[in-house]
Structure 1
Amino acid sequence: MSATLATARKRKGSAARVRTIRRLAPGLVLVLLALLGPLLAAHPLDKPVTAPFATPGGGAPLGGDQLGRDVLSRLLHGGTALIGSALLVAAAVTALAALLGCFAVLHPVVGRAVERTADVFILLPPILGIMLIALAWPGGGRWAVIGASVVLGTPYAVRVVAGAAAPLAGAGYVEAALAGGESLTYTATRELLPNLRATVLALFGLRFVEAVYVISMAGFLQIGPQPPAADWALMIRENSSGILLNPWAVLAPSLAIAALAISVNLAATSLAPRSAPKAVTTP
């Protein structure tokens, strides 16, 4: 009986690993293509190879853009900066939210300040906030969009972490750590955070997807990367006037953005622990 149970568990574990690999594979492939894309491009970014908005054919499998540049080559160049920016935003927002959210439930004064600040920032539309910060940022550009995305994305993420950490703040092991004289930093990082792995990982995936959309929208509005940079959102804006002549000049970067967001979200979901978090104590 025990051998049968062990075999069933082994098969269940193998099936779970296969599902996880299947969900991770699309995101990993897209990220790898984005990183290696500049090496795979057949033509330089700014070299016209076809007539403006030429249909696919010849040396341009996806046709030409508004200046006759190869759409596929620009597509292969355009994902690296977007993925790097979104990863930076997601990592920064998740790290700040994890720390501030834990501090908020452990310290009432910090909690009230975080809650009121979050309420103010949540009411501010993301694009309006990005425009205000980006226009005030010296020199503007991609770093302005990244900074604005971190500032505007952190308050909501803090509320999510604080909501997940609140039921754990009254647990015995947390109270024991505080009663034993442990600092808030130690209690937050060694007692609370280990029990919030699923929340933090899911939050990272959601923040990455949100960052992809926000950065892409900012690029579409020409807040951030400027022509002739190869950026997926910028490609959509530049080629929208010729969508009837060569639809791939707009559809290809649009599909790339959507595929990236969906695949990364599926990957983050598959990595998140399925079981309820258990108390983790540190000796």
Structure 2
Amino acid sequence: MTHIAVLNQRAARRRPWPRLLLPLAPGVLLVLLAALGPLLAPHPLDKPVTAPYSEPGTDAALGGDQLGRDVLSRLLHGGTALIGSALTVAATVTLLATLLGCLAVLNPRLGRLIERTADTAILLPPLLGIMLLALAWPGGGRLTITVAAIALGTPYAVRIMASAAAPLATAGFVETAIANGESTAYLALREILPNLRATILALFGLRFVDAVYVISMAGFLQLGPQPPEADWALMVRENAPGIMLNPWAVVAPGLAIGLLAISVNLAANTLAPATARKAALR
């Protein structure tokens, strides 16, 4: 095990468990609530139970939406697909960025090609990229937005991982492995990757938050999920005309999106050392 990895493990051991678990609790609870939400919903997803935009009452704790459906039930159904899509995007982007970033620093010629390609892709505005892919793949729905979020998020993440891996590529233990004739795959997986665990964790948290906002923005623009699907961003758009009649139909899903992003980012920042957070924000 390398010296840097040993230092990271010692720093992790010194963290008191109460201070570590407290910031993790909101994110864990919110994800569990979204995952189990469909089982906890008091009413069917598409069944009207009140008058349109009715105020909160005994039949609907958060009132009704534009069709009189229970806002709470739709809120409990709306987070499962969003969190699943965001996790898919974050995991895929982090994996691709880690592999490409390690290859970029170990193979200078390939690294220049990867970094130039990433720099060019970064110039494409995210909203324009989503709209272009949605127009090219009109029937893709949520899958279209997931693919777009992966394609748009990977170039940024590659630059972050390449910057974090660059100092390690010239470290003594890597040069020793190169002198011993080790392959590029061995260098990336056994020498560099173990020392990037904290950076990878911080990057995963940032990419998850970015994916939540990208997917939510697409849902608000109706580029992904379509009615009558329950989706937090779609709920905000659908119920915006009646915000003065039942504010909870808009405020509740908006708060859910914000709390999800903040709590997961807080959890990732808690688990990752300060040095990794600084590298991920460059």
Whether the 8 Å contact between 1:197 and 1:273 is mirrored in structure 2 is: no
Give 2:256's aligned residue.
Answer: 256
Q: Which deviates more from structure 2 when the two are superposed, residues 250-259 or residues 125-134?
A: 125-134
The code of the aligned residue for 1:269 comes to N
Label 1:203 to 1:257 Cα distance change in 2 as closer, same or farther (>3 A). Answer: same
Cα offsets for 1:24-58 (capped at 9, x unmatched):
11011001100110000011111011111111112
Structure 1 Cα separation of the partners of residues 158 and 130 of structure 2: 19
Q: What TM-score does the superposition give when structure 2 sets the normalisation length?
A: 0.91
Give 1:14 shift. 8.3
Structure 1 Cα separation of the partners of residues 188 and 132 of structure 2: 34
Q: Secondary structure at the match of 1:42?
A: coil
Structure of larger gyration radius: 1
Give 2:74's aligned residue.
Answer: 74
1:150 aligns with 2:178: no
Structure 1 Cα separation of the partners of residues 157 and 183 of structure 2: 23
Give 1:16 shift. 2.1
The code of the aligned residue for 2:139 comes to G
CA RMSD, aligned part only? 1.5
Structure 2 Cα separation of the partners of residues 13 and 163 of structure 1: 27
Give 2:267's aligned residue.
Answer: 267
Structure 2 Cα separation of the partners of residues 29 and 112 of structure 1: 43
Structure 2 Cα separation of the partners of residues 13 and 116 of structure 1: 39
Q: Secondary structure at the match of 2:160?
A: helix
Structure 2 Cα separation of the partners of residues 134 and 187 of structure 1: 39
Identity in percent: 73
Q: Secondary structure at the match of 1:98?
A: helix
Give 1:9's aligned residue.
Answer: none
Give 2:115's aligned residue.
Answer: 115
Give 2:163's aligned residue.
Answer: 163
Structure 1 Cα separation of the partners of residues 48 and 275 of structure 2: 54
**Residue correspondences, number:** 265
Query: Is there any run of 5+ residues in structure 1 with no aligned partner, and where?
Result: 1-11, 277-283
Whether the 8 Å contact between 1:52 and 1:67 is mirrored in structure 2 is: yes
Give 1:13 shift. 6.6
Q: Secondary structure at the match of 2:140?
A: coil
The code of the aligned residue for 2:22 comes to R
Give 1:60's aligned residue.
Answer: 60
Label 1:195 to 1:140 Cα distance change in 2 as closer, same or farther (>3 A). Answer: same
Q: Output aligned runs, 1:17-56, within 5 Å.
A: 17-56=17-56
1:206 aligns with 2:206: yes
Cα offsets for 1:130-179 (capped at 9, x unmatched):
11112212622111111111111001100000001111111111112122
Give 2:86's aligned residue.
Answer: 86
Q: Secondary structure at the match of 1:139?
A: coil
Q: What TM-score does the superposition give when structure 1 sets the normalisation length?
A: 0.90
Give 2:229's aligned residue.
Answer: 229
Query: Is there any run of 5+ residues in structure 2 with no aligned partner, and where?
Result: 1-11, 277-282
User: Which segments of structure 1 move beyond 6 Å, counting only runs of 4 or more?
Assistant: 12-15
Q: Which deviates more from structure 2 when the two are superposed, residues 111-120 or residues 218-227?
A: 111-120
